[in-house]
Amino acid sequence: MGRVRKLSKTEKYVSGEFPIKRVKTVNDYAQLPDRSVWEAFKEGDELAFVNIYRTYVDVLFNYGCQFTADREMVKDCLQDFFVYLRNSRAGLGKTDNIKLYLLKAFRRRVFDYLKKTNREIQHNEYFAFLQFPIELSSESMYINRQIEAEQLVRLNTALQALNTKEREAIYYFYYEGLSYEQIAEILHVTHVSSARRIVYRGLSHLKKFF
């Protein structure tokens, strides 16, 4: 009888979710919970890294464009960010929500990048929804169909009337589908109720334009 090969940590995570099928392609990772994908990535699994990159690169690029109109700077920042993640993976913290983890980390990276390039975030530029999407997430109360050009203009005008924290909170809630608890974590507010109030306050202002 031959020796039984011990499963690696990555295989244990996978086999825990799929006892028969092991991860063989990038698409297989789409079926796994974030915790398993992240742990596999931290242990050096390149397929896990590729899955994370493909899933979130466009999300993070659009997110970065909310903070500055310099799209080339956002591209450079994003490339450096993924290089950093790949090179530092073993020392990264644990997470069961990859999207939230990346949004928080990339937010810090964008701000640092702006400081390094001797740029200041102007009050009217900070989170100005410069690339505000035509379609919001399925959770949106206001838009469940494509926005007509006139409606989009009105929406952008309404958003500019909000303060920066309200715009940012509404972006997280409606476009990224984050919970109040997750929004509070990103905005560094102490109580979940505070994040809820920020969103509600922003929505009450938006209603005046529709």
Same domain, 110 and 62: yes
Residues 26, 54 contacting (CB under 8 angstroms): yes
Cα separation, 175 vs 87, whole angstroms: 30
Same domain, 89 and 31: yes
Q: DSSP E strands: which ranges in 18-93? A: none
The answer as to whether 126 is a domain residue is no
Same domain, 89 and 166: no
Same domain, 90 and 165: no
Which residues have CB under 8 Å from 34's CB, separation 6+? 95, 96, 97, 98, 99
pTM score, whole prediction:
0.72
Phi/psi of residue 63, nearest 5 degrees: -60, -45
The answer as to whether 63 is a domain residue is yes
Q: How confident is the model at residue 147, as a pLDDT? A: 52
Q: How confident is the model at residue 210, as a pLDDT? A: 63
Instruction: Give pLDDT tens digits along the chain (210 positions).
Output: 455 445 444 444 444 443 324 556 777 777 889 999 999 999 999 999 999 999 999 999 989 888 888 889 999 999 999 999 999 999 999 999 999 999 999 999 998 888 887 665 544 445 555 444 433 333 443 444 455 556 666 777 777 778 888 888 888 888 888 999 999 999 889 899 999 999 999 888 887 766
Same domain, 159 and 106: no
Q: DSSP E strands: which ranges in the chain? A: none
Give the total number of structural domains in the chain.
2
Q: How confident is the model at residue 18, as a pLDDT? A: 38
Which residues have CB under 8 Å from 92's CB, separation 6+? 42, 85
CATH of the domain at 45: 1.10.1740.10
Same domain, 14 and 98: yes
Same domain, 17 and 70: yes
Same domain, 88 and 160: no
Same domain, 100 and 156: no
Which residues have CB under 8 Å from 78's CB, separation 6+? 57, 60, 61, 64, 106
CATH of the domain at 182: 1.10.10.10
Q: How confident is the model at residue 119, as a pLDDT? A: 60
The answer as to whether 89 is a domain residue is yes
Task: Give the domain extent around 103.
Answer: 9-116
Same domain, 154 and 112: no
The answer as to whether 171 is a domain residue is yes
Same domain, 101 and 161: no
Cα separation, 158 vs 60, whole angstroms: 24
Which of 116, 138, 169 marks a domain boundary? 116
The answer as to whether 3 is a domain residue is no
